[in-house]
Structure 1
Amino acid sequence: MENNVVHEHGSHAAIITDLASLILRECSAIQSVCEEHKIPPPSMLAGTSTAFWSDDAPKLISSRSKALGLLEKLVTLLQGPHDFLHEFVAPNWDHGALYAFLQSSALEHMASSDGSASLFNLSNASGIPEDKLKRILALLRCRNIVDEPEEGIFTLTAVSEELVRDEDFRAWVEFQLFETRVASAHLAQALANKPNDYENGSSGFAQAWGSEMYDWHSKHPDKGDRFRRAMRGVSKSLDPADSLLRKHIPSGEIPSGCTEIVEIGGRYGFASVSLVEERPNLLFEVRCDSQDFIRREAALVTPSSKERITFTGVPSLKDLSFNNDSTKVFAYVIRNVFWNWTDHNAVKLLQALLPTLRAVPSTRILVTDGVSPVPTQFPQHIEIAYRRRDITTMTMHNVKQRTQAEWLKLFSQVHPGLKVSLDFLRRQ
């Protein structure tokens, strides 16, 4: 067996029996953890309640992740190149069917009817002719999004229940099925245009929709609102920023006299809104260039914390001055701001913070943002999430997710005496 070892980072020489054995090993480990912690087995049936998919059991997460990566390798080997490519692109039609389903009122009607409804009633509720709706639902049934326990009767599954239960995550799914799907189809044309570099090129989104994403959303407020809900929804599971900030803003003692956290930005929600509830010993100020974002987020603050958080509207984040900051700032929080900024603008803002750092050496700058890893840094089935993010930022905004080396180069331009510490939280 030594010559046929399946390495974690992938092997083109892997053989089917090796993969099957490793998958069985991980599944056995999963079973043992479930039995030890009395975790119910997973199921796609509506009403399923299990901690199987949660983050509460680290050993379960590890084995699940490894099993999924091994399964992907096995499926690819079983398919072969032609069938792999066919199945790689064919889900485009699944996505179209799901978006049509979500844009109708069929899901809501099913949910309000105790999770079950006839094709006739779903057709009346959605306005989609029965014969067309039947074909849409048949494809979604194959994807476990709905079930058909008897002919013409459709029910929710655990998957569709998730879309009903979490409206913000549903908004993210719809955003992916509409704006990003169309934008990605226009990336090739955007790259064919000249110039096509990061500085002067255009995004796939602009190529598809005629303007850059934020401008387009401002012209289509219903889609803009959906996008904001989408970012709020996906940040619950994919954005590690808040957990990293909790780690670096201690709940106990902080340097004497330092009582303030100043957050800059906030397009995807303000970290301060949750941190102000957890850090009663600190005052918070948010500086943002969108009154709409400020209004939405300020409404989320509980009455007991309102006196400890201030929201300040500013004309532009890129021209902020910090000369009037007091000597009480413990930390500046810059969360998901620099990812679509040029190095020049990011360095300019960070240099504006230097006078405060000179006055209070204990003051820190907490920057949380995405990092593009080096090849093989993660197993392939985990690395793909980062590579998708690379294409996402290129397609939607004509910007890039910086590598660690690029981040360090950026910070080195701020000041030679600036101390930089790195911390990572990877996607599973």
Structure 2
Amino acid sequence: MENNVFSERGSQAASIVGLANFILDECSAMERACEEDGTPQPSMLAGTSTAFWSADAPKLTSSRSKALGLLEKLATLLQGPHEFLHEFVAPNWDHGALYAFLQSSALEYMASSDSPVSLSSLSHTTDIPEDKLKRILALLRCKNIVDEREEDMFTLTAVSEELIRDQDFRAWVEFQLFETRVASAHLAQALAKKPNDYENGSSGFAEAWGSEMYDWHSKHPDKGDRFRQAMRGVSKSLDPADSLLRKHIPSGGISSGRIKIVEIGGRYGFASIALVEERPELSFEVRCDSQDFIRRGAALVTASSKERITFTDVDSLTDSLSKGDSTSVFAYVIRNVFWNWTDHEAIKLLQALLPTLRAAPSTRILVTDGVSPVSKQFLQHIEIAYRRRDITTMVMHNVKQRTQAEWLKLFSQVHPSLKITTDFETSTHVCKALWNLSLES
């Protein structure tokens, strides 16, 4: 049952006690759900294992989201404008401390010990003076990232254990703490330049680092490798793109007899690598304009699936049509490619695929990419993640996330007879859509 306090009027009029009661209701609902399902209560202690935080528990997920939104409203109400603004910007120092911690060997050293480790031994291992390291660890302790069991004796928590357990996610955290944090500080500088539009303007990243992100990563291969690892981690945990594709690529036989999926593009990952394992009745071809991406992708394919997937190096993605497509291809997949393309570039690629759609009307194009939702389409504490994504693309690449209306306008320019259907999925951080494109028969 939705709480009225989530409405705009309700959020302004809610009393402290009213918000607290709503929070108590949701906490009680979570406790009942844990008891019914036998789910352990959450804890920040190292070694904690619970499905409480899993997205696979619908009852808990719903109440948890509502409680977090209500807690944020209550905290803002209690803080007032001045303290709210102070706390809004203060985490910059938390982020600096965490990045310094992760760039040292402290996390690995603590994880290798079965008991708390001393400040002196951490200082010796990291080569950071004790007095400086103690202050860094003290701040991280306040954020539940480390625990100080007794004076100057430190151990991990459930939070820092997560950074050991999931190295791809750790790479994403470090990318956010370094490249993204510095780039975002230069958005104002980028916007002050003229022109400052999407087509001719500059990104915050370029202002901060002297070149656009992909070029900068090629000059700094260690950071480029970390970014690729980070994107792999995000794709696994936060990106609904592959889930959408699974829904629209049938499992089992395809009535048209066309059993080939052609994926076009893919910078730091290909959907086909996972799908080829899950759809043994289908064959796959990846057409990409980067030998480096192809090499990385091909290395991830298991031996049992290598015969059903090929990687083709093309001069440009708009030259991705093959003469045999009209007799073999069920679908073209374009996954997370168009987000930083101009409308003109995207339309050109899609129009290059039309000959297959004309010759084989059952063939379709499956485009999946990010969407900027309509304002207030989601509750505010959920919407904020999608608004951050809007700023992310602006800061890092000087591009915008298209709205659904902008996507439909783009597709309508490909061909007047193009039929378009849309499917949406969201995660906690990304709103994605899949557009199924086909020609009217």
Q: TM-score, normalised on structure 1?
A: 0.97
2:435 aligned partner:
none
CA drift at 1:24: 1.0
1:6 aligned partner:
5
2:253 is the counterpart of 1:250: no
Whether the 8 Å contact between 1:263 and 1:272 is mirrored in structure 2 is: yes
CA distance in 2, matches of 1:425, 1:279: 22
- Structure 1: gaps spanning 5 or more residues: none
CA distance in 2, matches of 1:391, 1:423: 24
Q: Structure 2: which amino acid aligns with 1:133?
A: L
1:198 aligned partner:
198
Whether the 8 Å contact between 1:104 and 1:126 is mirrored in structure 2 is: yes
1:47 aligned partner:
47
CA distance in 2, matches of 1:189, 1:375: 26
Distance change (3 Å), C-alpha of 1:323 and 1:200 = farther
CA distance in 1, matches of 2:27, 2:15: 19
Map 1:322-401 onto structure 2 (within 5 A): 322-401=322-401
Distance change (3 Å), C-alpha of 1:345 and 1:178 = same
CA distance in 1, matches of 2:235, 2:377: 23
CA distance in 2, matches of 1:61, 1:100: 33
Bigger drift between 106-115 and 120-129 goes to 106-115
CA drift at 1:85: 0.2
Q: Structure 2: which amino acid aligns with 1:364?
A: R
Partner deviation per Cα, 1:251-285 (whole Å, 9 max, x = no partner):
12212321100001111311100100110000000
CA drift at 1:7: 2.9
Partner deviation per Cα, 1:128-167 (whole Å, 9 max, x = no partner):
0011000000000000000000111100000000000111
2:148 aligned partner:
148
CA distance in 1, matches of 2:315, 2:109: 44
2:413 is the counterpart of 1:404: no
SS in 2 for 1:250: coil
1:220 aligned partner:
220
CA distance in 1, matches of 2:347, 2:117: 57
Residue-pair matches, total = 425
Whether the 8 Å contact between 2:326 and 2:359 is mirrored in structure 1 is: no
Distance change (3 Å), C-alpha of 1:318 and 1:131 = farther
CA distance in 2, matches of 1:318, 1:83: 53
Q: Structure 2: which amino acid aligns with 1:283?
A: S
SS in 1 for 2:53: coil
2:128 aligned partner:
128
CA drift at 1:298: 1.3
Distance change (3 Å), C-alpha of 1:407 and 1:193 = same
2:158 aligned partner:
158
1:78 aligned partner:
78
SS in 2 for 1:18: helix
Whether the 8 Å contact between 1:5 and 1:18 is mirrored in structure 2 is: no
Whether the 8 Å contact between 1:144 and 1:159 is mirrored in structure 2 is: yes
Whether the 8 Å contact between 2:44 and 2:158 is mirrored in structure 1 is: yes
Q: Structure 2: which amino acid aligns with 1:256?
A: S
CA distance in 2, matches of 1:295, 1:121: 42
2:432 aligned partner:
none
CA distance in 2, matches of 1:312, 1:111: 43
CA drift at 1:319: 4.5
CA drift at 1:116: 3.0
Bigger drift between 121-130 and 86-95 goes to 121-130
2:440 is the counterpart of 1:424: no
2:434 aligned partner:
none
CA drift at 1:115: 5.9
SS in 2 for 1:425: strand
Q: Structure 1: which amino acid aligns with 2:80?
A: G
2:174 is the counterpart of 1:174: yes
1:299 aligned partner:
299
CA distance in 2, matches of 1:393, 1:361: 35
Whether the 8 Å contact between 1:322 and 1:353 is mirrored in structure 2 is: no
SS in 2 for 1:286: strand
Whether the 8 Å contact between 2:266 and 2:335 is mirrored in structure 1 is: yes
Partner deviation per Cα, 1:279-320 (whole Å, 9 max, x = no partner):
000000011122222222211111111100001122322444
Q: Structure 1: which amino acid aligns with 2:5?
A: V
SS in 2 for 1:177: helix
Bigger drift between 293-302 and 278-287 goes to 293-302
SS in 1 for 2:334: strand
Partner deviation per Cα, 1:43-100 (whole Å, 9 max, x = no partner):
0000001011112211111111111111111111011000000000000000000000
CA drift at 1:13: 2.0
RMSD (Å), alpha carbons: 1.3
CA distance in 2, matches of 1:46, 1:115: 11
SS in 2 for 1:369: strand
Whether the 8 Å contact between 1:264 and 1:332 is mirrored in structure 2 is: yes
CA drift at 1:227: 0.3
Q: TM-score, normalised on structure 2?
A: 0.94
CA drift at 1:364: 1.2
2:107 is the counterpart of 1:107: yes
Whether the 8 Å contact between 2:287 and 2:320 is mirrored in structure 1 is: no
2:232 aligned partner:
232
Partner deviation per Cα, 1:164-195 (whole Å, 9 max, x = no partner):
01111000000000000000000000000000
2:90 is the counterpart of 1:90: yes
CA distance in 2, matches of 1:133, 1:375: 44
SS in 1 for 2:325: coil
CA distance in 2, matches of 1:236, 1:406: 27
Whether the 8 Å contact between 1:184 and 1:204 is mirrored in structure 2 is: yes
- Structure 2: gaps spanning 5 or more residues: 429-441
CA distance in 1, matches of 2:270, 2:147: 39
SS in 1 for 2:11: coil
Bigger drift between 113-122 and 16-25 goes to 113-122
Whether the 8 Å contact between 1:322 and 1:352 is mirrored in structure 2 is: no
